[in-house]
Amino acid sequence: MVKHLLSAADLDRASAVHVLDTAAEMAATQAREIKKLPTLRGRTVVNLFFEDSTRTRISFETAAKRLSADVINFSAKGSSVSKGESLKDTALTLQAMGADGIVVRHHSSGAPHLLATAGWVDASVVNAGDGTHQHPTQALLDAFTIRRHLAGRGAAGAGASLDARSGVGHDLTGLHVAVVGDVLHSRVARSNVQLLTTLGARVTLVAPPTLVPVGVEAWPCAVSYDLDATLDEAPDAVMMLRVQRERMSAAGGGFFPSPLEYSRLFGLDARRLAALPGHAIVMHPGPMNRGLEISAEAADSVRSVIVEQVANGVAVRMAVLYLTLATKES
């Protein structure tokens, strides 16, 4: 495992499978009465969040504490950052405090890479989301969830048995994943295209033309502007993306005619849910806009693994922190 995890591109197939296998071992420990492990005792992990977050920050905090690390939560609001302190000065402060690992979420694409490579800190840096660029641990937990439900199905065909606890040692070869929605503003989509493709899956992006990034033809995936046509291809997993209206407002443009029109053309509703293959799963990185990109029926259906994604996030982040920190020289 590399010292830093800044992008899904940092992982080749072998290392990605290794992280997923380690996460499976971590998940097994969380079924015990005593969930804590002594692995990172004496290490200090700083959650450095310049953007609002609930799921990701709590997930990383839980993961670090389950590994017995000391955790410091840093929020830009109410800190010296709000008074104009630079990323460099914040980093130097954390270095002086002896941080071993820094989990950073930032509104600017590339900020975690700068923190890791500028020489300001000796700590391992984990990217918890930067701008519209990358969110590697989200892609890992998505791949982990897909593998637990669909491991072996792609390689063995439709007759493969489903085992929600299988998958150790497997990649995602032969599986088809449809990623639907606001691709333009989504770091989750970018990370998932890279990681799922690395693991052998076939990825199709589905979005209106206004929400597809310039240069997407260079990405290792297919692009569709017709959700129903993509669902006719019987994808194994459908990942709905949040419509990021806050980024659209900041851009000052209208990316689709109306919420009703978007939902009609690109929302996952009961009709489209019924059209999916019997084994297919429904995913969403959260938070959801119910009634826009996904209906309540789809979000709460037996096919939905959205709540499970949150639980799997703790195990995956435990694995990432363990692999980046546990073997560091003292």
Give the separation between CA 272 and CA 228, rounded to whole angstroms.
7
CB contact at 8 A, 147 and 167: yes
Fold agreement (8-134+311-325, 136-305): yes
54, 77, 83, 327: which is the annotated catalytic residue? 83
4, 66, 105, 149: which is the annotated catalytic residue? 105
Binding residues: 55-56, 83, 105, 135, 138, 187, 242, 286-287
56, 90, 145, 324: which is the annotated catalytic residue? 56
Give residue 326's pLDDT: 83
Binding residues for L-aspartate: 83, 187, 242
Domain 8-134+311-325 classified CATH 3.30.465.10?
Answer: no
135, 176, 190, 284: which is the annotated catalytic residue? 135
Written as tens digits, the pLDDT of the chain (330 aa) is 679 999 999 999 999 999 999 999 999 998 888 999 999 999 999 999 998 888 999 999 999 999 999 999 987 765 666 556 789 999 999 999 999 999 999 999 999 999 999 999 999 999 999 999 999 999 999 999 999 999 877 654 444 444 445 578 889 999 999 999 999 999 999 999 999 999 999 999 999 999 999 999 999 999 999 999 999 999 999 999 999 877 666 555 678 888 899 999 999 999 999 999 999 999 999 899 999 999 999 999 999 999 999 999 999 999 999 999 986 654
Does 55 qualify as catalytic in the annotation? yes
35, 55, 107, 247: which is the annotated catalytic residue? 55
Reported pTM: 0.92
Give residue 159's pLDDT: 42
Does 149 qualify as catalytic in the annotation? no
CATH T-level assignment (fold) for domain 136-305: Rossmann fold (3.40.50)
Does 202 qualify as catalytic in the annotation? no
> What are the extents of the domains in the chain?
8-134+311-325, 136-305
Does 135 qualify as catalytic in the annotation? yes
Binding residues for carbamoyl phosphate: 55-56, 105, 135, 138, 286-287
Does 328 qualify as catalytic in the annotation? no
| pLDDT 10s digits, 130-160 | 999 999 999 999 999 999 999 877 654 444 4
